[in-house]
Amino acid sequence: MSLFQTKKSISGKVVVITGASSGVGLATAIAFAKEGCKIVLAARGEEALKKALQQCQDLGATVVYKATDTSNAEEVEELVNFTLKHFSQIDFWINNAGVMASGKFEEIPMEVSEQVIKTNLMGYMHSAYYVLPVFKKQEKGILINNVSIAGYMPAPFSAVYSATKYGIKGLMAGLQSEYSIYPQIHICNIYPQVQQSTGNMHSAKYSGLDFKIPPFAADPTDTAQLMVNLTKKPKNDNFPDASSYLLKSVHDFFPQIITNIAHIAMRVMMKM
């Protein structure tokens, strides 16, 4: 049994996953499919969603999808209503949709930086805003946020991305306190490091940056399994692997040194 697995059954529970068409989101969908959950897949690209749906159905799961841009509040509200129409309840909501733009701050187009904020920070806020009232009505539910280690330490040459992750951490910390009076409603945050994911390769890059997935990148299936585990045993703040926790701990003791080293490494990959 995996380090992150527990024996409690969540078969038949309803889970909504944003950013579900690739990377960590797809790995998470597959992990919940193996648990026997009813799954709602959400992402912007419909063709990729269809492929993800097929993969989950091949595992015997009950799955539907809805093309959704989480940066649009109305589309998130529609996703909530779509789920309730199909399954009458929402047990778990996974905030996972995210985008990244890397390069010199002033060389990243303003509209790109604004979209990073809209998708990452506003997208998570939109989801929380519309799903938490459902949890209140049900008197139960678990919201899980894939925040990133960048919620604790700034990502080099990704200032706006870092701002969104610090913002998500602050937003959810406030909501954890606010919702602590509801014993069966939980808000869980996870802080993974760089993932072995195509999303990292396809993120927007500027300033001559040639980013490749580093050899120490984590397996997204570990992050996905932690999300499953949190539906069985909720915990506020979590790290999916030892390397994520180690990075955070070392940064706590030597913040400026670690930040400077990371920026130097990124400069090597840029045409300065």
pLDDT bucket at 14, cuts 50 / 70 / 90 = very high
pLDDT of 59 reads: 97
Residue for token digits 């009232």? 133
Cα(36)–Cα(31) distance, rounded to whole angstroms?
9
- Active-site residue, from 161, 179, 206, 245: 161
152 part of the active site: no
Of 214 and 13, which is predicted with more confidence? 13
- Amino acid found at 150: A
Cα(83)–Cα(61) distance, rounded to whole angstroms?
15
Cα(21)–Cα(80) distance, rounded to whole angstroms?
18
pLDDT bucket at 38, cuts 50 / 70 / 90 = very high
Q: Is the pTM of this model over 0.75?
A: yes
pLDDT of 216 reads: 61
Q: What is the mean pLDDT of residues 204-219?
A: 68
Tell whether the model's pLDDT for residue 149 goes beyond 90: no
Tell whether the model's pLDDT for residue 198 goes beyond 90: no
Which residues, at least 6 apart from 204, have a Cβ–Cβ distance to it below 8 Å? 99, 100, 101, 102, 108, 112
Tell whether the model's pLDDT for residue 240 goes beyond 60: yes
Of 52 and 149, which is predicted with more confidence? 52
Tell whether the model's pLDDT for residue 249 goes beyond 70: yes
User: Which residues does residue 142 pair with via DSSP β-bridges, in sequence order?
Assistant: 92, 186
pLDDT bucket at 215, cuts 50 / 70 / 90 = low
Q: What is the mean pLDDT of residues 117-139?
A: 98
196: which 2 tokens? Answer: 């072995």
